[in-house]
Amino acid sequence: MGSLDRVREILPQDVLEVVERETPIPTIAQTAGRLSREDPTFVRADIGQIVSVDSELEVLYGPPVGIEPLREALAEFWSLTFRVAEHTGTALKPENVAVTTGAAEALTLLFRCFGSEKTVALPRGYWENYVNGVALGRGRPVVVDYFDAQGRLDIDGLSRQIDEMNVRCLVSNFPSNPTGAVLSEEDAEQIARLVQDKDIVMIADEVYSRLRFDGHSPISLLPFAPSHVVSISSASKEYLLPGARVGYILSARSELTNAVLRKLIRANTASPNVLGQERVLALLQEDLKALRAGEEPALLVKIRAELSARRDQLVSVLSRHGMSTVGRPDHEPMGTIFLMAGLPEWWSGNDTEFVDAALERKAFSAIPGSAFGIPESVRFSFGSMEAKSIQELDRRLQEWKAGIS
């Protein structure tokens, strides 16, 4: 059973107790806030922070699920970007959004809600921190293959793996960190049908959804199966603000975002970073102006053009050194800020030894593919390399290879 229509029935008992526990402080604060807006002389003795010593310095606590204008902007942003109303008949509203301390908190809380004591399936080529999130949520991580050896979505194979391993929570992450693999609309339709047929929850990590270089529109799985998919995203990537710690969870079922997560976020962090949310809101409002006019946001166009050029340059440098891209077979890395490359023939050790040797030579850093479930490969971030660093990588690989042969 995994329909978000019955979210309280699928929560583990200990999480449900937190969700259902009476919380007098926020309840009174809500009434008090309303009364003091109506009557500025209303006396507030309920607030747990120091006020009116130096009001210039004050940054007050925010609501657990995020400041209202940001929730409103995110609901509109997601609805416009992914044509939510066209698919589901209704656009998302502020109550369908819960702002979190980065997508990292979003993942930990969702694993706690939907993966506890259950088998949670990660896509082969997974962000390695998922394993920690599933462990904190007391789940059992397993790895599943979405694609066959030709790089086609293998929906029957995925269905078989779900049954064989009794998977109750499936994670998707497209465009993928680490491989850059993306989904087509047909892929999304099939995956959505599968999670509905199996009645399992899908956590769709869509932090890179708009960083896609193949010219296709970005895809979110949420509108394809609103009763079973919870999407998460973040300001860390597209708004260049990882330090702001602003992520968010979207669900077409507001019981999750407005009620369940309100309690869990309050228990976990009290609220996401208010200053960070204000920064993100300003950038999002610029994006919304463009989206409402049917145009692509200028910042996105700029970031995507730069990343796409870096990706092309990196792919050509690596292939010159015998390191071809791996991931979704027969599929170029088409999104994110990463790519995976196979080990070169001139290297006889494994991926960890390759990266250790590169560090030992003080040549360059990268992450061994085994950290992401794809051994014998290496993940390079072109998010962190400008054109001149990619040229330098070329020179250093050349020097290394010449020393070996």
CB 158, CB 123: distance < 8 Å: no
Tell me: does residue 247 bind ligand PLP (CB under 6 A): yes
Q: Answer positive or negative: Cα dihedral of 170, 174, 176, 181.
A: positive
Tell me: does residue 108 bind ligand PLP (CB under 6 A): no
Residue whose CB is less far from ligand PLP, 79 or 236? 236
Closest CB to ligand PLP: residue number? 102
Among residue numbers 165 through 184, which ones bind ligand PLP (CB under 6 A)?
173, 177
- Window of 100-108, 218-226, 260-268, 365-373 that interacts with ligand PLP by CB under 6 A: 100-108
Binding residue for ligand PLP (CB under 6 A) from 10, 84, 170, 207?
Answer: 207
Q: What is the CA radius of gyration of the chain?
A: 23
CB 382, CB 338: distance < 8 Å: yes
Using CA atoms, how far apart are residues 178 and 174, in angstroms rounded to an integer?
10
Tell me: does residue 84 bind ligand PLP (CB under 6 A): no
Q: How far is the CB of 232 from ligand PLP (least distance, A)?
A: 7
Tell me: does residue 234 bind ligand PLP (CB under 6 A): yes
Tell me: does residue 74 bind ligand PLP (CB under 6 A): no
Alpha helices in 7-128 (DSSP H): 7-10, 13-20, 24-38, 68-81, 84-88, 102-114
> DSSP per residue over 205-233, as a string?
E-TTTT-B-SSPPP--SGGG-TTTEEEEE
Tokens of 377: 């490969």
Tell me: does residue 277 bind ligand PLP (CB under 6 A): no
Tell me: does residue 146 bind ligand PLP (CB under 6 A): no
CB 340, CB 379: distance < 8 Å: yes
Residues 6+ apart with CB under 8 A from 83: 223
Site string for ligand PLP, 187-206 (x = CB under 6 A): ------------------x-
Among residue numbers 121 through 140, which ones bind ligand PLP (CB under 6 A)?
127
Tell me: does residue 104 bind ligand PLP (CB under 6 A): yes
| Residues found near ligand PLP in the complex (CB under 6 A) | 102-104, 127, 173, 177, 205, 207, 234, 236, 242, 247
